[in-house]
């Protein structure tokens, strides 16, 4: 079993996280703070322009995240992450959380610019 990875939350995630019920918050927070490298690599990727993000389903919520080492190796020339650090790749960045039923309504994530996300 590998070590738990440190997690960084974006401001967008923190804002949306506060909007969900406390019972769900506790479950999601526990899962994110206990995730390791094998767990994150088992999560599927989005297709198309968001293929550098992994998707994690937790109850009725979809969480957008990335494992920095994975992203750095494959996508560093494609995207410009605001906190990309080649010396510190063993971490997870959690970008967004949305209820699954709202997520798949008209595509709100077509225009995501990782360089403009606040941490």
Q: Is the distance from CB of 96 to CB of 28 less than 8 angstroms?
A: no
Name the CATH superfamily, with its identifier, for domain 7-103: RelE-like (3.30.2310.20)
Q: Say if residue 116's pLDDT is above 90.
A: no
> Which pLDDT band, with edges at 50, 70 and 90, does 55 fall under?
very high
SS3 state of residue 116? helix
**With bands split at pLDDT 50, 70 and 90, how would you rate the model's confidence at 87?**
confident
**Mean pLDDT score, 39-45:** 92
The domain limits of the chain are 7-103
**pLDDT for res 113:** 63
Query: What is residue 100's predicted lDDT score, i.e. its pLDDT?
Result: 85
Please indicate whether residue 1 or residue 98 has the higher confidence score (pLDDT).
98
What residue spans of the chain are helical by DSSP H? 11-18, 22-33, 37-42, 68-75, 100-103
pLDDT of 119: 66
Mean pLDDT of 86-104: 86
Structure tokens at 15: 């804002």
Tens digits of per-residue pLDDT, 75-86? 877 777 778 888
Which of 61-70, 72-81, 107-116 holds the top average pLDDT?
61-70
């Amino acid at each position: 079993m590998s070590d738990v990875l440190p997690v960084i939350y974006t401001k967008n995630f923190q804002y949306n996280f506060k909007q969900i019920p406390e019972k769900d918050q506790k479950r999601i927070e526990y899962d994110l703070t206990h995730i390791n490298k094998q767990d994150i690599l088992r999560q599927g990727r989005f297709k198309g322009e968001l293929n550098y993000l992994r998707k994690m389903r937790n109850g009725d919520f979809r969480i957008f995240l990335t494992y920095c080492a994975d992203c750095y190796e494959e996508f560093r020339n494609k995207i410009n992450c605001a906190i990309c650090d080649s010396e510190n790749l063993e971490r997870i960045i959690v970008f967004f959380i949305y209820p699954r039923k709202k997520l798949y309504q008209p595509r709100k994530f077509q225009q995501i610019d990782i360089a403009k996300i606040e941490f």
